[in-house]
Amino acid sequence: MRHLALIICLIGSPAAANGPVTWSELLAPDRLMQSLAQSVTLTIRSFLDVTYTALDVDIRRGAVTVRNIKAYPRIAATDFADCRVEIRRLEINGAGLASPESIKLDLRADDLRMSNTCLMPPVSEKLAEAGLPTLRMPRAVLQLNYHVPSAKTQITGFAVADDLAELSFDVDLDYFWIDASVPDPYPVILLERAEVTLRNLGIWELLNEAMPDEALNPEVAPAILQLGAAQSLVEAGANEPFAVALSAQIAQAWSAFLLEPKMLAAAFEPKAPVFVDLVVFEDRPGEMLSQLAPTISATPITRVSPLSVDLLRSALSGSTNLSAEDRLKAGRQLATGIGAPRNIEAGIKLLLPLAVRGDEDALEAIAALRADAFRAEDYAKMTEVAVGKPDVVALLDDLEARIGLATAITFQADFELNPSFDGIATVQDLRSRALDHLEGSRVPRSFARAAYWAYLAAAAGDFVGQDVLADIEGRTVNEQDKVAWEAVDRAAASRALKDWIAADLPARLKSQ
């Protein structure tokens, strides 16, 4: 049946009415994607009656746009028979062909209207009494960004319902995937941060009419709520100190909300990513909750204090009067775009000198960035920053792959003028120096120096030295890389031969 639907879509798509369709047109990526989208529509129609006026596809952006959607239950349905949903414009965006490292899904719905008859009777009746026969959402957005190499995931969402509420959430996962190695697959989630905010646009005025008076009294309700919340948390597996602290937060937030019913917010910010064990969460939710470090508030929960304008001006002007603490703060916020409008180049410019001096916080901020955030000119400092920092060494590899070997070589340290042979007693010592310069984990990365020591090690019969040379040559991906490396390689071989003789390395190694 699915194959039949696809054939119908391919043959009967709108373009066919305009004249004969060539094979190249029939098999064009956008047309195939549009046909697939139409096939999905036919599948949906097996469950709901759905119509639309236009469907556009752009495979380069990974985007599908559908306009003037109308959906309602099957004509024969009795439950919710009067339910109607209309969406003026729905856009579904993927990562596109230019983003192979990420899986992205952006859903945007403009002017979504749903009749209150789509909801359960108590709710629909309440909305009808309030003069809201139709719920209207001017805009609803859901964004998911999954970075395949790191498994980091960002999920954000926003929706506003006229005269009711505005909901927004932001979730950062340090790692996410599904463990399918067990009979009952389950998600592996490492939560880094999460925040959800609900703003009152009229929903509170509808709900509070059905609430008991004591729950609405700002002098009585907080104490009752605090006692009940603490008891519930302990019964759910939370330890008593945490239960007392969180229940106090809940009571304080509720008291503030009753006095000024604008919003309620919750944030979860553990010091380090926490494994969200769904089994523990189901059996002992209080215990799981205590690990997530929740914050409850009736005011906005800010991730970071924004930079002052004066500090921002000084940071951008390159002022030498800034303290290391201010440089770090400005660099972080400019690089991430949280606390100040994003300017990655300016942020890195502030962070790199601190990282070179060994500032752990600056190093952490640098390591958290993607390679495409750096300029080729940053590579030289990055080779210094990477020493002793495996996370930054990995970032250095990514940056090198992006700028190319020929460019990387120009920013690396050149040959030593007078290399010291102190401490060279075995072939393994020659090998270690070659590997150190190749990896960049103990000394700044330099392929020229790595090749020099690799030629000496290979001459002494070490196969690892030969492998180092093959490794570097394997990093050449185009003619420019090959030409640049051949020049360095010839110079390394020439210097190695000269010093092999001058230092009489055969005798040195033999005597040891």
The model's pLDDT over 463-475, given as tens digits with 9 standing for 90+, comes to 999 999 999 998 8
**Whether residue 391 is found in the same domain as residue 313:** yes
**Whether residue 391 is found in the same domain as residue 433:** no
**Whether residue 444 is found in the same domain as residue 502:** yes
DSSP 326-373: HHHHHHHHHHH-SSS---HHHHHHHHHHHHHTT-HHHHHHHHTS-GGG
Extract the residue ranges of the chain whose pLDDT is less than 50.
Answer: 1-17, 98
User: Does 388 map to a domain?
Assistant: yes
**Whether residue 433 is found in the same domain as residue 387:** no
Q: How far, CA to CA in Å, does 119 sit from each of 79, 112, 195?
A: 11, 15, 27
- What is the per-residue pLDDT across 5-56, written as a single tens digit (0 to 9) for each? 444 444 444 444 455 666 555 556 666 667 777 777 787 777 778 888 888 8
Residue where a domain terminates, one of 395, 418, 453: 395
Can you give the pLDDT at residue 367? 75
- For tokens 């190093």, what's the residue? 363
Is 500 in contact with 459 (CB distance < 8 Å)? yes
User: Does 274 map to a domain?
Assistant: no
- What is the per-residue pLDDT across 298-310, written as a single tens digit (0 to 9) for each? 988 876 678 788 8
Domain interval for residue 320? 309-395
Can you give the pLDDT at residue 256? 93
- 291 Cβ contact partners less than 8 Å away, ≥ 6 residues apart: 270, 274
Can you give the pLDDT at residue 2? 47
User: Does 70 map to a domain?
Assistant: no
Is 464 in contact with 507 (CB distance < 8 Å)? no
CA-to-CA distance for 234 and 241, rounded, in angstroms? 9
**Whether residue 376 is found in the same domain as residue 444:** no
User: Does 318 map to a domain?
Assistant: yes
Can you give the pLDDT at residue 20? 63
**Whether residue 434 is found in the same domain as residue 382:** no
User: Does 417 map to a domain?
Assistant: no
Is 132 in contact with 165 (CB distance < 8 Å)? no
**Whether residue 332 is found in the same domain as residue 381:** yes
**Whether residue 363 is found in the same domain as residue 431:** no
How many domains does the chain fold into?
Answer: 3
Is 252 in contact with 223 (CB distance < 8 Å)? no
**Whether residue 314 is found in the same domain as residue 391:** yes
Is 334 in contact with 317 (CB distance < 8 Å)? no
User: Does 432 map to a domain?
Assistant: yes
User: Does 313 map to a domain?
Assistant: yes
Average pLDDT, the chain: 84
Can you give the pLDDT at residue 78? 60
User: Does 82 map to a domain?
Assistant: no
